[in-house]
Amino acid sequence: MNVIELDRVTIAIGARNVLAEASFAIQRGEFIGVLGPNGAGKTTLMRAILGLIPPNAGALRVFGRPPRRGDAAIGYLPQVRTVLPDMRVCGFDFIASSVNGDRWGVPWITRADRKMIDAMLAAVGGRDLAKRPLAEMSGGERQRLLLAQALFGEPRLLLLDEPLIGLDYRYQEAVIDLVRRFARERGITVLVSAHEINQLIGALDRVLYLGNVHAALGTVAEVVTAPVLSRLYGADINVVHANGQIFVLSRGRNVEHADHLHDEDHDHNHRHERHRHA
Ligand SMILES: Nc1ncnc2c1ncn2[C@@H]1O[C@H](COP(=O)(O)OP(=O)(O)OP(=O)(O)O)[C@@H](O)[C@H]1O
Ligand SMILES: [Mg+2]
């Protein structure tokens, strides 16, 4: 079954196309790495899948129907995590507050919810975050909390937008392994955007590369090639394999590194977005 289907989808923001006539399908249980330069549309695509941005043309289907806002079957980790609603709230209440789509009030949760929150916090190695206020967590700890929130509620689809930013190398691997295992066991479909393909390479089923209003979905061998990436980057790209890693180079420069130097600035576009899409 296709969990996500695009049939000649065009998405514009303002007067500019971010995607033009993109067609591809993602199947149930796939782990997809979403890559591409800054501004390629990774976040925009996830927001369209959440029903937050309607396509301008074509058909976008999620679970076989047009996306609906606040679909509880989708767990979402937004890219912007610097501005959180209430920094005094503790980790447990933060997750609990998303249970009924009620972010501000005192949440009413069942015993089962409570157990699941504990389990999700344990899954991300964040049991001790339950009682601590957000204000006193490090960036990486907050990130794990948000991941626990995205995993909460038995999602069938996970959209994780740059979950590795701000995590040190050790945690990057742990987070990807965790998500991979969690999703495998439950048949969850996962889209994870990242700066660099090497961060995801061990976990991927297929990659979705975005760039230049185009999308290419396929195995690493099919997509991460000089001709495909040259088209998506609009530049002469070389792909070099070395030490089990892949380097995407333009005139000897690693474009994946260069492209993301200004990530934090770019994020301000989305800073008012709700942390939970409900
Ligand atoms: N709220 C907005 N207002 C205007 N333009 C926007 C807005 N959000 C996104 N854009 C533009 O849409 C395009 C796609 O942005 P998007 O955030 O989806 O890219 P991205 O691939 O996620 O980039 P990054 O790697 O920096 O996260 C960019 O050109 C961006 O400037
Ligand atoms: Mg983005």
CATH number of the CATH domain containing 188: 3.40.50.300
pLDDT band at 276 (very low <50, low <70, confident <90, very high): very low
Give a yes or no: residue 14 inside a domain.
Answer: no
Give a yes or no: residue 18 inside a domain.
Answer: no
Strand partners, 203: none
Closest residue by Cα to residue 188 from 67, 44, 27 = 27
pLDDT digits (tens, 9 = 90+) for 147-157: 999 998 889 99
Only one residue has tokens 């069942």, namely: 110
Does ligand 1 lie within 6 Å of residue 172's CB atom? no
Pocket test for ligand 1, best of 11, 13, 207 (most atoms within 8 A of CB): 13
Domain tally, the chain: 1
Given a cut of 80, whether residue 105 has pLDDT beyond it is no
Does ligand 1 lie within 6 Å of residue 259's CB atom? no
| Range scoring the smallest mean pLDDT among 57-71, 79-93, 179-193, 206-220 | 79-93
Residue 154 is predicted with a pLDDT of: 85
Does residue 218 contact residue 232 with C-beta atoms inside 8 Å? no
Write the residue with the smallest CA distance to atom 30 of ligand 1.
39
Does ligand 1 lie within 6 Å of residue 2's CB atom? no
| Range scoring the smallest mean pLDDT among 67-76, 224-233, 251-260 | 251-260
Does ligand 1 lie within 6 Å of residue 126's CB atom? no
Only one residue has tokens 């997809």, namely: 32
Residue 58 is predicted with a pLDDT of: 98
Nearest ligand, CA 262: 1
Residue 77 is predicted with a pLDDT of: 92
Does residue 128 contact residue 118 with C-beta atoms inside 8 Å? no
Residue 106 CA to ligand 2 centre (angstroms): 31
pLDDT band at 54 (very low <50, low <70, confident <90, very high): very high
Pocket test for ligand 1, best of 76, 77, 82, 266 (most atoms within 8 A of CB): 266
Given a cut of 60, whether residue 270 has pLDDT beyond it is no
Give a yes or no: residue 255 inside a domain.
Answer: yes
Give a yes or no: residue 64 inside a domain.
Answer: no
Give a yes or no: residue 158 inside a domain.
Answer: yes
Residue 166 is predicted with a pLDDT of: 76
| Range scoring the smallest mean pLDDT among 50-54, 162-166, 259-263 | 259-263
Give a yes or no: residue 62 inside a domain.
Answer: no
* Cα-trace Rg, the chain: 18
Pocket test for ligand 1, best of 11, 43, 160, 165 (most atoms within 8 A of CB): 43
Given a cut of 70, whether residue 271 has pLDDT beyond it is no
Residue 106 is predicted with a pLDDT of: 57
Only one residue has tokens 């380097």, namely: 247
Give a yes or no: residue 61 inside a domain.
Answer: no
Q: Give the domain range for residue 157.
A: 30-55+69-270
Give a yes or no: residue 37 inside a domain.
Answer: yes
Angle formed by the axes of helices 169-186 and 139-151, nearest 10°: 0
Residue 41 CA to ligand 1 centre (angstroms): 6
Mean pLDDT computed over 229-242: 93
Instruction: Report the range out of 25-34, 109-118, 264-273 with the highest average pLDDT.
Output: 25-34
Given a cut of 60, whether residue 126 has pLDDT beyond it is yes
Residue 82 is predicted with a pLDDT of: 57
Query: How does DSSP assign the chain, residue by residue?
Result: -EEEEEEEEEEEETTEEEEEEEEEEEETT-EEEEE-STTSSHHHHHHHHTTSS--SEEEEEETTB---TT-TTEEEE-S--S--S-TTSBHHHHHHTTTTS-SSS-----HHHHHHHHHHHHHTT-GGGTTSBGGGS-HHHHHHHHHHHHHTT--SEEEESSTTTT--HHHHHHHHHHHHHHHHHHT-EEEEE-S-GGGTTTT-SEEEEEETTEEEEE-HHHHSSHHHHHHHHTS--EEEEETTEEEEEETTEEHHHHHTTTHHHHGGGGTTS-SS--
Does ligand 1 lie within 6 Å of residue 144's CB atom? no
Write the residue with the smallest CA distance to atom 24 of ligand 1.
38
Strand order in 245-250's β-sheet? 238-242, 245-250, 253-254
Nearest ligand, CA 47: 1
Residue 269 is predicted with a pLDDT of: 39
pLDDT digits (tens, 9 = 90+) for 130-139: 999 998 998 8
Given a cut of 80, whether residue 3 has pLDDT beyond it is yes
Residue 44 CA to ligand 1 centre (angstroms): 6
Given a cut of 50, whether residue 203 has pLDDT beyond it is yes
